[in-house]
Amino acid sequence: MKIRLKNWGAAASKGAEAPLKLLNPLLVFISIFVLYNLLGLVDVPWNIVGSYSKDAPWLMFFTALSALGIVYVISKLFIRKVKVSNEVKGSPALLGTVLFCIFLMCLAVSIVTNGGVALFLGEARFSNSAVLYNLAQMYGLWVLLSSINQVEKGYRVRKIPIFIYLVGITAFGYRSPALAFGIVLGTYFLLYRVPASKAIKIGSVCGVAFIFVSAIMSGFRVSQDYDVEKFFNNIDYKYLSEHPYYTPLVPALAMFDYSQSTVSDIASNLPDLKMGDLFLSNYETFLPGQHWGARNIVGDIVGARWVSGRPMSITPTLQGGLYIDFGYVGIFIGMLVIGFMISILYRMSLSGT
């Protein structure tokens, strides 16, 4: 199946027409960052309040937000506008074929070594080879960039490669790659193909749908091995019994609070700064031998239980990961770098690179 998309960029560049008013990616990033963190930092009625100290999470949040705010002000005051270009470059098909073969090989080896599809085997997904899992995602990156390239050229988007990748990568038992794929592709359309007024409305609906789908998948995985209510123990189920419409969203609602709880545990339990070791850890998984990924290292720091011979993988939030490596200075500088990268890459994209 193929779909045809209107070339908004070409329409916006015509001198006779007013250019489309598009969303600023840095402002969107800051808005989502603030929303995600505040849903965990603010005492909401569906969470159990007072179970951990929020002093460190609040300080990390404000440190990160101040850096992003500085970048936004600089980008608005001192960075000149670029002339929009419609130049589009190609994406080599041979590379896609090679990465597709690697993807199929990684998926097949995972199924054979696990004795089935990891998605349906509960905690068996934690025994997946990090090398196979990371290599498989390279095909997804190519499909993502190729799809965007097709839109930029005014061609039809090929749905079959997208479908194959999303089904195959989900079979590894993790939702993150599939959700990241959808987020990036959706963000591209909202930032480059849809006027700002419509993008905010569509983005809000898609955001709610994203949270809902993510919660359902998380609840399904947890229910394979645990009692859902005992697993998400930071939720006030008495409140949910009075407001049952929140029940399907329990995994997502618990995640916001748990993210800040993890940050609090990191600040309390981190013996020494890792000085970049956490950042490099995922790349080390490509080396021979056994290596923990970044989230396994975080799990060890916060005292998570062990599964398949290593600590359970825990996501530390963006500022939490920077703190583990370089402390509060790392959060501030890291967010400056991230903010400027978003601004620079956005300018490069408008110039046709």
Phi, psi of 49, rounded to the nearest 5 degrees:
-90, 145
- For residue 14, the model assigns a pLDDT of 40
- Give the residue from 220, 87, 106 showing the smallest Cα distance to 149: 87
Beta strands in 82-184 (DSSP E): 157-158
**Ordered mean pLDDT values, 10 residues apiece, the chain (353 residues):** 43 46 87 91 83 90 95 80 59 78 87 75 66 85 88 84 88 81 87 86 84 75 67 77 78 84 89 86 76 82 78 84 92 94 84 63
Token pair recorded at residue 58:
């609040």
CA atoms of 108 and 188, how far apart (whole Å): 31
The answer to whether 327 and 276 are in contact (CB under 8 A) is no
Bridge partners of residue 244, in order along the sequence: none
Decide: pTM greater than 0.85.
Answer: no
| pLDDT (0 to 100) of residue 332 | 96
Judged by DSSP in three states, 311 sits in strand
User: 10 Å Cβ neighbour count for 294?
Assistant: 24
Contact 148, 9 (CB under 8 A): no
- Measured CA to CA, the distance from residue 108 to residue 35 in angstroms comes to 39
**Residue 352: φ, ψ to 5°:** 95, 10
In contact, 344 and 80? CB cutoff 8 Å? no
Return the pLDDT at 81.
63
| DSSP annotation of 313 | P
Looking at the DSSP bridge assignments, the partners of residue 47 are: 235
Considering only CA atoms, which of 109, 82, 123, 218 is closest in space to residue 168?
Answer: 109
